[in-house]
Amino acid sequence: MVVRAGGNTVFRWKDMRLLETDRHDHELGAPTDWVSSRSLGGLTNYWTAAVPRFAPEDFT
């Protein structure tokens, strides 16, 4: 769940039981924990409310 007010994210909550950590091969003791979730539509990406901007002023 993401709560936004005035264009800002003010609260973000996720149910950790829905995230999977055993789908990625990584080195033992690696400093990064990889997690993924299965989303509606069969996608495996996890939306964190970070949306890239593509306004004209971003390219000047």
User: What does the alpha-carbon distance between residue 27 and residue 54 come to, in Å, rounded to a whole number?
Assistant: 36
Closest CA to 19 of 43, 2, 39, 35: 35
Read off the pTM: 0.33
Domain boundaries, the chain: 1-46
Token pair 């390219």 is found at 59
pLDDT digits (tens, 9 = 90+) for 4-57: 888 888 888 878 787 787 777 667 777 877 777 776 655 555 566 666 777 788
Query: What integer pLDDT is reported at residue 27 of this predicted model?
Result: 75
